[in-house]
Amino acid sequence: MNIKSNVNLLAFDTSTEYLSLALMKGDEFFTFNINAGQTHSQIILPQIQALLDQASLQLKDLQGIAFGSGPGSFTGVRIAAGVAQGLCFGANLPVAAISTLLALAEASGAEKVITCLDARMGEVYHAAYEKIVGQWQTVIEPGVYKPDDVPAIENTGWIGAGSGWQTYGVQLSKVYAVQLQATQPQLLPTASAILALAQPIFARGDARPASEAMPLYIRNRVALKTLEREQGLRL
C-alpha cells in the first residue's frame, strides 16, 4: 500500500455483517474487524474513537475519510455514508466513496476479478475488474442480477470473489465455467482495501466534500412487501 508518510487516513465499511475499520498514521497501520451483526450503528463511533486513541490521533489530525459506499446491506451502506458525512462535516475533511465491489477486487490480491455479493432476494451484486499496469479497469459495470443471468465475460484466468460465490457458486460457476480459475467465496470488502483504493484519490486531490458522501444502492427497491417479509426475504 503506497501511503505517503505524512498522511493520516481513516477508512471503514459496514456493508456486510462485519464492521471493518482501518487507520493509516504515516507509515503505521491500525485495523479493527468484528462480526457486528446488526449493531454497526451502536459500535462504529466508539470503535473509531478507540482506533484513533490507539494511534494517538484526533479526528482533526486526519487528511480524509474513505468509506464503503455499497452496494451491500441497505442499512449498512446508509450507516457508513451517514457516519462519513457527519465526521467529515465536523472536522472539515474531504471524503472518498469506494465501491464495495471494487474493494473486493482489491482485497482478493488477484488481477482479474469477478466480484459478487449476495444481494438477497435471489440476486447478486456483480461487477468485473482487471488490474492493468497497477490500475483497476472496470470490465463490467456494477449491477444486480439473478445468478444464472450475470453478464458474459471474455478471456480466462478470472478469480471469483465475494459472498455471492458462496451462496450461488454452482450457478455462477456454470456461467463462467471456461473463464474461472478459482474462487474466494469467504472474501468480504475490507477497510484495508478501501484505504488502499482511496489513497491515490486523496493524493490527486480528487476527494469530495462531505455533502457528497452518498451510498451506492444499485437496486432501486429499498423495502419489502409484507408477503415478502413473511416469506423471510431480506434486502
Domain-located, residue 29? yes
Q: What is the pLDDT confidence band of residue 227, given thresholds at 50, 70 and 90?
A: low
Task: Label each residue of the chain as H, E or C.
Answer: CCCCCCCEEEEEECCCCEEEEEEEECCEEEEEEEECCCCHHHHHHHHHHHHHHHCCCCHHHCCEEEEEEECCCHHHHHHHHHHHHHHHHHHCCCEEEEEHHHHHHHHHCCCEEEEEEECCCCCEEEEEEEEECCEEEEEEEEEEECHHHCCCCCCCCEEEECHHHHHCHHHHHHHCCCCEEEEECCCCCCHHHHHHHHHHHHHCCCCECHHHCCCCCCCCCCCCCHHHHHCCCCC
**One domain for residues 115 and 14:** no
The whole-number average pLDDT for the span 186-198 is 98
User: pTM for this one?
Assistant: 0.91
**CATH at residue 144:** 3.30.420.40
**One domain for residues 74 and 116:** no
pLDDT at 232: 52
Domain-located, residue 135? yes
Domain-located, residue 1? no
Domains held by the chain: number: 2
Q: What is the pLDDT of residues 112-128, one digit of tens each?
A: 999 999 999 999 999 99
**One domain for residues 13 and 93:** yes
The whole-number average pLDDT for the span 79-88 is 98
Domain-located, residue 235? no
**One domain for residues 91 and 204:** yes
**One domain for residues 18 and 93:** yes
Domain-located, residue 2? no
Where in the sequence is the domain holding 35, given as residue range(s)?
8-100+189-230
Domain-located, residue 45? yes
Q: What is the pLDDT of residues 158-179, one digit of tens each?
A: 999 999 999 999 999 999 999 9
